[in-house]
């Protein structure tokens, strides 16, 4: 087990290193680092000084090591726009994004599982067919366009929900979140639903497939034969078994939600790190872009690592197969 974890950790470190290479050479070789890293409004003397300070007059390999050293100590440079360290800026915007992604995840579970269960239990029911057609649409509709249509419908035409911003936040148990105030919740509802739509479709399909498969298993027949109520058979025996793949996939999809929040945040002006990324891209605020890319890579690598290790604990065959090769 220890060997397995060490191997995985080494692999993860390798991935981060590889990505840092891609990002570094992307910024420094394909683009002109002087354009990208130095404030375009700087004058000649300032540019000279910045080139010296950033070490741009040194060989590229040396520059890369210098960059790595900065990354290792959490120093990605300062944002041109805000004048703050890029890392601090992103960490400051991170809670709003995590909040949005978590609420979207909860929505996916609360909406997706009951609908999927219904579609799986009564596959010929017209409502079930409607649910499945809806889930196909959910897969095909581009997230950003659905977001726009939601704004038109709920904010402009009906006027029920505010279109932009995060609203009031409150502190509860040491966590600052919009989910604890009425105003915050009304701001949260639309962006979270927008972000959740794809995942809802995914959960519906997974739950439906699981339910249809499990219905013919012996343990369900046995539970029925024992004379248990339908509610208990479905709520306990069936649900418990189909939850395993659903939970696994949703765990993996959490990183996906964080990444996709870029789109949702831009539409609903949600002050998270995705919106920060797009603004930084448009304003050529390169230190922030580089910092965001490295952070999201690390987040993904950590999630994948956690899933790998969890799997190897739950299913020893994964570990054994790896040792065999």
Partner 1 sequence: MSVHADRAPGAPEIRVETPFQRFRSEFFESRIATFALGLLALIIVLALLAPWITPQNPYDLAQVDVLDGKLPPGSVAYTGYTMWLGSDGAGRDLYSAILYGLRISISVGVASGVIAMAIGSTIGLIAAYAGGRVETVVMRLVDLQLSFPAALIALMLVAVLGRGIDKIIIALVAAQWAYYARTVRGSALVESAKEYVEAARCLGLGHARIVFRHILPNCLSPLIVVGTVQTAHAIALEATLSFLGVGLRQTEPSLGVLIANGFEYMMSGRYWISFFPGIALLLTIVSINLVGDQLRDVLNPRLKK
Q: What residue ranges bind partner 1 (CB under 8 A)?
A: 15, 18, 22-23, 26-27, 30-31, 136-137, 139-145, 148-149, 151-152, 155-157, 163, 255-256, 259-260, 262-263, 266-267, 277-278, 281-282, 289, 293, 296, 300, 304
User: By C-beta, is 109 or 198 nearer to partner 1?
Assistant: 198
User: By C-beta, is 143 or 186 nearer to partner 1?
Assistant: 143
CB 196, min distance to partner 1, A:
16
Q: Chain centroid to CA 240: how far?
A: 26
User: By C-beta, is 103 or 263 nearer to partner 1?
Assistant: 263
Q: CA-to-CA distance for 263 and 254, rounded, in angstroms?
A: 15
Q: CA-to-CA distance for 232 and 153, rounded, in angstroms?
A: 40
Q: CA-to-CA distance for 298 and 26, rounded, in angstroms?
A: 18
Contact by Cβ (8 Å): 236, 271: no
Long-range interactions of 228-237: CB distance < 8 A, separation 24+: 234/117, 234/121
User: By C-beta, is 206 or 262 nearer to partner 1?
Assistant: 262
CB 68, min distance to partner 1, A:
17
Owner of token pair 């964080």: 258
CB 145, min distance to partner 1, A:
4
User: By C-beta, is 186 or 266 nearer to partner 1?
Assistant: 266
CB 260, min distance to partner 1, A:
7
C-alpha distances (whole Å) from 144 to each of 156, 157, 186, 252 are 17, 19, 20, 22
User: By C-beta, is 135 or 169 nearer to partner 1?
Assistant: 135
Q: CA-to-CA distance for 190 and 146, rounded, in angstroms?
A: 10
CB 22, min distance to partner 1, A:
8
CB 164, min distance to partner 1, A:
9
Q: Comparing C-alpha atoms, which of 99, 98, 107 is closest to residue 203?
A: 107
């Amino acid at each position: 087990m220890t060997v397995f974890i060490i191997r995985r950790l080494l692999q993860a470190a390798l991935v981060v290193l590889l990505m840092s290479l891609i990002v570094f050479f992307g910024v420094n070789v394909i683009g002109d680092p002087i354009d990208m890293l130095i404030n375009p409004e700087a004058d000649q003397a300032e540019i000279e000084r910045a080139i010296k300070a950033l070490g741009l007059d040194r060989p590229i390999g040396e520059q890369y090591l210098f960059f790595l050293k900065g990354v290792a100590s959490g120093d990605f440079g300062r944002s041109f726009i805000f004048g703050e360290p890029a890392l601090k800026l992103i960490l400051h915007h991170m809670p709003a994004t995590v909040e949005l992604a978590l609420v979207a995840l909860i929505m996916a579970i609360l909406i997706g599982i009951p609908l999927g269960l219904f579609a799986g239990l009564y596959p010929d029911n017209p409502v079930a067919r409607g649910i499945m057609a809806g889930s196909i649409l959910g897969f095909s509709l581009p997230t950003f366009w659905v977001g726009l249509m939601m704004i038109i419908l709920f904010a402009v035409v009906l006027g029920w929900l505010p279109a932009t911003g995060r609203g009031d936040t409150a502190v509860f148990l040491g966590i600052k979140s919009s989910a604890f105030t009425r105003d915050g919740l009304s701001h949260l509802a639309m962006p979270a639903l927008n972000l959740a739509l794809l995942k809802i479709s995914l959960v519906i399909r997974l739950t439906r497939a699981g339910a249809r498969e499990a219905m013919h298993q012996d343990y369900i027949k046995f539970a029925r034969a024992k004379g248990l109520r339908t509610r208990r058979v479905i709520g306990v025996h069936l649900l418990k078994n189909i939850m395993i793949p659903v939970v696994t996939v949703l765990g993996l999809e959490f990183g996906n939600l964080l990444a996709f929040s870029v789109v949702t945040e831009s539409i609903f002006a949600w002050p998270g790190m995705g919106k920060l990324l797009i603004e930084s891209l448009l304003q050529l605020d390169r230190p922030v872009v580089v910092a965001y890319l490295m952070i999201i890579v690390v987040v993904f690598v950590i999630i994948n690592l956690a899933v790998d290790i969890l799997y190897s604990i739950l299913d020893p065959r994964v570990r054994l197969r790896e040792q065999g090769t």
